[in-house]
Amino acid sequence: MRKAPWLLLVLVLLLGWLQYKFWFGVGSSGQVVALEQQVAAQKRENAGLQERNDALAAEVEDLKSGESAVEERARSELGMIKPGEKFYRVVESVAPVPPPEGGTDGSGDNVVDRVP
């Protein structure tokens, strides 16, 4: 009966030490939560990269198998046209910038005095 208080004290100290290690030690619950968040973020990034890889693989397969994809890419990226086709380029006009009042245009001539 004399050993019971000492055994109880040892068990309480052991429990306290284990709780401390659980909450604040290496591999604590806070670190586990942080690692779980990192894993979730990495999974989201991997999913996006996988979608990109799938799209690129599909584009490569399309370029290998069909002429229409090659033709479309040559037209859009290289500006190529078929023989006999006419190419029309529509250029939107840019509004002219008004000259500064009473200034010069860099040639030393006064902009206001010059006649076209």
pTM over 0.75: no
Q: Is residue 83 part of a domain?
A: yes
Q: Is residue 66 part of a domain?
A: yes
* pLDDT tens-digit readout, 24-62: 878 788 888 899 999 999 999 999 999 999 999 998 888
Measured between alpha carbons, how far is 9 from 16 in angstroms, rounded to an integer? 11
Residue 90, SS3 per DSSP: coil
Give the range of the structural domain holding residue 51, as residue numbers without chain letter.
Answer: 28-91
* pLDDT tens-digit readout, 73-104: 888 888 888 888 888 888 888 888 777 776 55
Residue 73 buriedness (CB in 10 A; 0-12 / 13-18 / 19+): middle
pLDDT at 19 exceeding the cut of 90:
no
Q: Are 69 and 62 in contact (CB under 8 A)?
A: yes
Q: Is residue 59 part of a domain?
A: yes
Q: Is residue 79 part of a domain?
A: yes
Position with higher pLDDT, 85 vs 106 = 85
CA 116 vs CA 18, 19, 97: distances in Å: 92, 90, 16
Measured between alpha carbons, how far is 28 from 22 in angstroms, rounded to an integer? 5
Q: Is residue 9 part of a domain?
A: no
Measured between alpha carbons, how far is 73 from 15 in angstroms, rounded to an integer? 69
Q: Is residue 74 part of a domain?
A: yes
